[in-house]
Amino acid sequence: MILGLGIDVTQVSRFSEAAERTPGLLDKIFTPGEHDTSMQRMAGRFAAKEAFAKALGAPTGLVWTDVEVRKDAEGKPYFSCSGTVAALVAERGIASIHLSITHDAGIAAAVVVCES
Protein backbone atom coordinates (compact mmCIF):
# COMPACT_ATOMS: atom_id res chain seq x y z
CA MET A 1 0.00 0.00 0.00
CA ILE A 2 1.28 3.50 -0.83
CA LEU A 3 1.87 5.49 2.34
CA GLY A 4 3.37 8.61 0.77
CA LEU A 5 4.12 10.27 -2.54
CA GLY A 6 6.39 13.25 -3.13
CA ILE A 7 7.68 15.19 -6.12
CA ASP A 8 10.09 18.11 -6.38
CA VAL A 9 11.56 20.20 -9.17
CA THR A 10 14.75 22.25 -8.69
CA GLN A 11 16.19 24.76 -11.13
CA VAL A 12 19.91 23.91 -11.27
CA SER A 13 21.09 27.53 -11.73
CA ARG A 14 18.99 28.77 -8.80
CA PHE A 15 20.29 25.96 -6.59
CA SER A 16 23.86 26.75 -7.63
CA GLU A 17 23.41 30.46 -6.88
CA ALA A 18 21.99 29.66 -3.42
CA ALA A 19 24.97 27.41 -2.70
CA GLU A 20 27.41 30.15 -3.74
CA ARG A 21 25.84 32.91 -1.62
CA THR A 22 25.19 30.77 1.49
CA PRO A 23 28.41 29.44 3.04
CA GLY A 24 28.03 25.96 4.48
CA LEU A 25 24.69 25.30 2.77
CA LEU A 26 25.92 22.21 0.93
CA ASP A 27 27.35 20.77 4.16
CA LYS A 28 23.97 21.25 5.88
CA ILE A 29 22.12 19.41 3.13
CA PHE A 30 24.56 16.73 1.95
CA THR A 31 26.69 14.02 3.53
CA PRO A 32 30.36 13.86 2.45
CA GLY A 33 29.45 10.94 0.15
CA GLU A 34 26.92 13.10 -1.70
CA HIS A 35 29.26 16.00 -2.50
CA ASP A 36 29.96 16.10 -6.21
CA THR A 37 31.64 18.38 -8.71
CA SER A 38 28.43 18.46 -10.75
CA MET A 39 25.91 20.99 -9.48
CA GLN A 40 23.33 19.28 -11.70
CA ARG A 41 23.69 16.02 -9.76
CA MET A 42 23.63 17.83 -6.43
CA ALA A 43 20.45 19.67 -7.45
CA GLY A 44 18.97 16.28 -8.29
CA ARG A 45 19.87 14.94 -4.86
CA PHE A 46 18.34 18.04 -3.27
CA ALA A 47 15.14 17.50 -5.26
CA ALA A 48 15.17 13.86 -4.10
CA LYS A 49 15.44 14.87 -0.44
CA GLU A 50 12.68 17.46 -0.86
CA ALA A 51 10.42 14.89 -2.56
CA PHE A 52 11.14 12.40 0.23
CA ALA A 53 10.24 14.98 2.90
CA LYS A 54 6.96 15.61 1.06
CA ALA A 55 6.26 11.87 0.86
CA LEU A 56 6.76 11.76 4.64
CA GLY A 57 4.28 14.61 5.12
CA ALA A 58 6.88 17.39 5.47
CA PRO A 59 7.42 16.86 9.22
CA THR A 60 9.54 19.27 11.24
CA GLY A 61 12.73 18.14 12.93
CA LEU A 62 14.22 16.02 10.16
CA VAL A 63 17.97 16.39 9.66
CA TRP A 64 18.97 16.69 5.97
CA THR A 65 22.11 14.62 6.45
CA ASP A 66 20.13 11.77 8.03
CA VAL A 67 19.12 10.75 4.51
CA GLU A 68 21.71 10.09 1.81
CA VAL A 69 21.09 9.54 -1.89
CA ARG A 70 23.19 6.64 -3.17
CA LYS A 71 23.35 4.51 -6.32
CA ASP A 72 23.29 0.74 -6.57
CA ALA A 73 25.57 -1.29 -8.86
CA GLU A 74 23.33 -0.55 -11.88
CA GLY A 75 23.21 3.18 -11.13
CA LYS A 76 19.67 3.18 -9.71
CA PRO A 77 19.30 5.82 -6.96
CA TYR A 78 18.11 4.90 -3.49
CA PHE A 79 18.02 6.41 0.00
CA SER A 80 20.14 5.38 2.96
CA CYS A 81 18.39 6.58 6.13
CA SER A 82 19.73 7.12 9.65
CA GLY A 83 18.84 9.11 12.76
CA THR A 84 15.69 11.24 12.57
CA VAL A 85 14.72 10.01 9.11
CA ALA A 86 15.18 6.31 9.92
CA ALA A 87 13.08 6.76 13.07
CA LEU A 88 10.24 8.37 11.12
CA VAL A 89 10.37 5.71 8.39
CA ALA A 90 10.08 3.00 11.05
CA GLU A 91 7.31 4.86 12.92
CA ARG A 92 5.27 5.18 9.72
CA GLY A 93 5.73 1.50 8.83
CA ILE A 94 7.47 2.23 5.56
CA ALA A 95 8.97 -0.96 4.14
CA SER A 96 10.16 0.27 0.73
CA ILE A 97 11.04 3.62 -0.78
CA HIS A 98 11.15 4.14 -4.55
CA LEU A 99 13.18 7.04 -5.98
CA SER A 100 13.54 8.41 -9.49
CA ILE A 101 15.70 11.42 -10.40
CA THR A 102 15.97 13.14 -13.78
CA HIS A 103 17.76 16.17 -15.23
CA ASP A 104 16.88 18.12 -18.38
CA ALA A 105 16.98 21.70 -19.65
CA GLY A 106 18.49 23.09 -16.45
CA ILE A 107 15.94 21.36 -14.22
CA ALA A 108 16.43 18.51 -11.75
CA ALA A 109 13.34 16.60 -10.68
CA ALA A 110 12.64 13.70 -8.35
CA VAL A 111 9.70 11.48 -7.44
CA VAL A 112 9.47 9.37 -4.27
CA VAL A 113 6.93 6.67 -3.40
CA CYS A 114 6.83 5.17 0.11
CA GLU A 115 5.13 1.79 0.57
CA SER A 116 4.21 -0.38 3.54
- As annotated, the active-site residues are 54, 103
- Give the whole-angstrom CA distance, residue 101 versus residue 65: 18
Query: CB–CB of 5/113 below 8 Å?
Result: yes
CB neighbours of residue 4 within 10 Å: 20
Q: Are 62 and 56 in contact (CB under 8 A)?
A: yes
Torsion of CA 59, 61, 65, 68, to 10 degrees: -20
